[in-house]
Chains A and B, each alone.
Chain A
């Protein structure tokens, strides 16, 4: 009997070390110790011990119940009996996991409270899953590796290059705004390709963007390199609309849907930029701003076919007027028109689709002629592109290019490309492009032919971005 009592008290010590929080237990324990050391009859002691064990068993049951309730609240895998009303939905007190409620009535009311406060299982929109990372932005990196072979005497590119590594960070800032930043690490340095905040909750249906943005001038100017249907950009972009980065500047953009005839979607965008965009606009003084206006019209022709039209205008001070006396008096006006026809049957959207697109650009550039006389060069450029998805993994495409030079409208480049794209998955892409160019040389009438083969590997890591449309 004595040994039994000893063993019991030993076990009690062990158990009590754990739930030290429960105030009454140590007191009970101390009493038991006192009894064990004093010479009280064994029967009484055993009775006391038995009672203590019973109390402890109750405590353990209570703790178990609490633990289970907590677990249920945390995971969406509810106990089978709690199926219809789930942990995450609205639970009335008392309906939670009846199994755990035994002998622990005071533990139950806490459960719905924690659930109400926690608002069910944490949800992110495309973000990390571990709690510590919940407030991080959605981060992605897109690697764009380009190789070029063949002959191009006019604008040769390097044989192999990691053309760009674009880090994207996107997050909701507060209930009224979200922000997007795309930082591009290129062969020549780092460039904030875009970084802007979008105010989504403005009155009167206005959408305001502030930051550095690709201007809403036509279609191709708004598209990031990795989302293009080609490896390069059209000749017209390079000759007239500022090269690879295009019109990409710090500014403010305001857009709004416009009341339209039934079936049409109209959107107007007005933007003001500082006026510095490579090769096309330069701000010589603070007030040399660049304005951009865009009108988009869209219509569903059927469930699978739609038409997307756009008119664009941009005005700023001509770039590259190093020696001009009063450069702020020299302007470049750009006019653009774009049309896109998409066909994508919904039942086979991932296997078959077709996109036809044409963009036209007119440039009127004030500059000094070689003999230092004020002149305006009127150049025209365009491209037409088609891409057809043959099956889930393959797309074929083609593009025709023609463009004058902004600074010398007498010089016109012509080119065409054939493109073949393969997608191992949604997150990588392999592309080949054959490109022919009939490129104007400095003397009018002299041309150089370029025959090139380009290939590209794209890879995406991190957050799943939006699909291009």
Chain B
């Protein structure tokens, strides 16, 4: 009989242990003052920083040079998510492979899906490539809700920033004027920069490019580029010999001279295609932090546009 009571006692000890640990750590967590913002990607972090200024601490889970589809759900992120007041996600199932378990295990009620501290940035953006009709994975790893790489359009950047500013104001009504002011300042700077970027890209309007993954529809639309093909035969499917041959033919036929590759993809196939077609392979980061000098949302476009211009000039 005493054996079975030992089991019960053990169970009780376990529970007591968990609870006491609880009380111990609960006190230290609350850092008053700044809003703790976690974002899924660096681009959202940059936008949140723009409108949040010194009233927020922002950190991104993914790095800018990392494929945002494949981020490891490391427990070290849990500690950061646990402390967050606000979690901003890209949405459209971009983070489906890694963010849901992180949110579930974060033990942070504030950032659970649809809680006040959960913000899906895709709500504010103009989304392209929303599939119509039947959606099957014969099309590869399709995103049934549309292309999630929507931040690569400055207009969407502005919309997301507005959404974040409104959310921050909602969380800290006392600082609403500050966030509104930060937003309008950002809006002004971004509009100016966008005019400059559009001006710079104007001579290349209608240029045909090939990209590795479908990361660039919003960018291409805004800057009037024409994406005619992809190195991947289907989203998320690695290049196949047959598709590569077809791509080479297509590029020759359409005289495409630039292959844009995201920094996290292998360059072997793009290089082979480039050799065959005389095109140039251009590693173009789709996110802030993709290169060391790309430290914010403005520098992302600065960098990408200057690289594109160089590539277009060199190949024409």
Residues of A bordering B, CB below 8 Å: 76-78, 83-86, 88-90, 120-121, 123-126, 129, 172, 175-176, 178, 198, 200-202, 204-207, 254-259, 265, 267-268, 270-272, 285, 287-289, 291, 293, 296, 298-300, 303, 306, 308, 315-316, 328-329, 331, 342, 344, 346-351, 391-393, 425-427, 464-467, 469
Contacts and interface: CB of A to CB of B under 8 A. Distances in A.
Nearest to B156: A86
B4 A265 contact: no
Interface of B: 3-4, 7-8, 10-11, 14-15, 17-19, 21-26, 28, 63, 65-67, 70, 72-76, 78-79, 82, 91, 93, 96-98, 100-101, 103-107, 109, 112-115, 120, 122-127, 130, 135, 137, 140-141, 144-146, 155, 158-159, 162-163, 166, 236-238, 263-264, 266
A426 B236 CA distance: 8
Contact of A464 (B96, B122, B158): B96
Given A202-B109, A287-B4, A469-B98, 6 more contacts: A78-B126, A200-B112, A201-B115, A255-B18, A259-B24, A347-B65
Given A265-B76, A270-B14, A204 B22 contact: yes
Closest 7 A/B residue pairs (Cβ): A270-B14, A201-B109, A467-B97, A204-B22, A265-B75, A298-B75, A259-B25
A129 B144 contact: yes
A291 B7 contact: yes
B21 A258 contact: yes
Contacts of A300: 74, 76
A344 B159 contact: no
Contacts of B158: 84
A125 B100 contact: yes
A214 to B, nearest CB: 15
A259 B82 CA distance: 12
B259 to A, nearest CB: 18
Contact of A256 (B18, B63, B100, B263): B18
Given A126-B96, A350-B264, A426-B141, A257 B127 contact: no
A120 B123 contact: yes
A196 to B, nearest CB: 12
B227 to A, nearest CB: 18
B147 to A, nearest CB: 11
A288 B4 contact: yes
Given A76-B127, A205-B25, A265-B78, A328 B96 contact: no
A206 B137 CA distance: 38
Contact of A344 (B15, B72, B155): B72
A123 B266 contact: no
Given A257-B82, A265-B76, A83 B66 contact: no
A129 B141 CA distance: 15
